[in-house]
Amino acid sequence: MGHPHQESSLFFTASGNLPLLLSLLSLMQLRNVSEQELDSVAMKLLHQVSKLCGKCSPTDVDILQPSFNFLYWSLHQTTPSSQKRAAAVLLSSTGLMELLEKMLALTLAKADSPRTALLCSAWLLTASFSAQQHKGSLQVHQTLSVEMDQVLKALSFPKKKAALLSAAILCFLRTALRQSFSSALVALVPSGAQPLPATKDTVLAPLRMSQVRSLVIGLQNLLVQKDPLLSQACVGCLEALLDYLDARSPDIGRNSPHYLMFP
Give the Cα separation of 231 and 17 in Å (integer).
Answer: 38
CA dihedral 247, 150, 89, 41 (to 10 degrees): 120
Give the Cα separation of 2 and 77 in Å (integer).
Answer: 11
Helix (H) or strand (E) holding 188: strand 186-189
The alpha carbon of 221 is separated from its chain's Cα centroid by a whole number of angstroms, namely 22
Query: Domain boundaries in the chain?
Result: 5-261
For residue 36, the 8-state DSSP code is: B
User: Is pTM beyond 0.75 here?
Assistant: yes
pLDDT tens per residue across all 263 residues of the chain: 444 444 444 444 445 677 777 777 666 665 666 788 988 988 998 999 999 999 999 999 989 999 999 999 999 989 999 999 999 999 999 999 999 999 999 987 765 567 899 999 999 999 999 999 999 999 999 999 999 999 999 998 887 778 999 999 999 999 999 999 999 999 988 876 566 566 666 888 888 888 999 999 999 999 998 899 999 999 999 999 999 999 988 776 555 554 454 44
First to last CA, the chain: 53
Please provide the size of the chain in residues: 263
